[in-house]
Amino acid sequence: METQKEFSLRKELLRKRTILSFVLSLILLTLFLSYATIGDITRLLREVKVLFLILAFVSHYLSYILRGYRWRRMIERTEFTGGAFDLAKIIFIFQSVGCVLPAKLGDVYGAHLMKINFSLSRSFSLGSIFLWRIFDFGVVMAFAIGSALMLFGSKVPSELISAMKVIVPCVLGLLILIGILFHSHRWFLTRFASGRLERLINSFREGLRLDGRQVPSLMMITTFIWLLEAGRFFFVCRSMGVNIPWVQVIFVTCSTLLLTAIPLTPAGLGAVELGMLKLLAFVGIGNPVAYPLIILDRFIAHWSQILLGIVFVSCSRAMNVKMWQFEEDKVLPATQKLAVSSKDDTL
């Protein structure tokens, strides 16, 4: 069995792409704050109702339990020995890393965690992560489009239409690529003959495979996940004394979440803040209230993830989670056909 490399967060942080993403984030955040009045923001933040802010935290972090349960359902055919809470911990850790690293590298680290903690191959795990990302994107898109139509009818803002003209072709292209991967991958492999590549692609495909009978229940779980995320923003608004209809909450939350898909900055840092300013203006919330709303919401969804992630990493032994180094564990018998063995999987 070949020696596996450790995942080095320090090395990833020092890479040029990460440094460039931080610089871009800083530029976007500076632009975001350029029209803010610090005095107004400070005054409004002092008036925050703490109980509603706590409820916003709870709503956000409860979603991880549902995420873990959903992932458990997706990979149950592997006879995965852990539980939903184990997967919730894995998701929390790698999404915390995703708040620091650009280009969705947190997902790659998530696959690494599944390898060192549960002996599932990285390519299989990455495929399953990609699958539930598709569920997330589908539900968020449906919420965003549906709520926009309810709010604006035939007068949808031109900025949203322009965004859809970019997003929809990208989604269609992604679905086409997935279809090719499933139905034409053997042609690709014959053109680029490689035993290792074939094993990786087959393992990734297995991670994407799903029993069609599971789709309705998984869609329902995903819907509840994003309703909890919408609940986070709802409670943030209530903490500021802003009464906002649920359709507006869902519109702002789900439209904002689409901005986190931008891989140029960590979890859309900077782009999300600027986007939220425009989205809040669409529903009639402008300065000075918009800024503290965005700051509080992003503190919960982004910065608290990083802070709690640091605490989690420091207590990883107590939480019974291996974080970095690969250790030779027993391979799950039922996963040997579904997940590539350690010696074959170096993704």
Give mean pLDDT, residues 27-38.
89
The pLDDT tens digits for 135-192 are: 998 899 899 989 999 999 878 887 787 777 777 777 777 777 777 766 665 666 566 5
Q: Mean pLDDT over all residues of the chain?
A: 83
pLDDT the model gives residue 1 = 36
User: What six digits make up the tokens of 99?
Assistant: 């708040």
> Is the pLDDT assigned to residue 222 strictly greater than 60?
yes
pLDDT the model gives residue 225 = 97
> Is the pLDDT assigned to residue 323 strictly greater than 50?
yes
The pLDDT tens digits for 211-220 are: 888 999 999 9
Give mean pLDDT, residues 63-92.
91
| Low-confidence winner among 9-18, 63-72, 277-286 (lowest mean pLDDT) | 9-18
Give mean pLDDT, residues 214-243.
96
Q: pLDDT grade, residue 332 (50/70/90)?
A: very low
Residues contacting residue 316 through CB under 8 Å, at least 6 positions apart: 322, 323
User: What six digits make up the tokens of 43?
Assistant: 């005054």
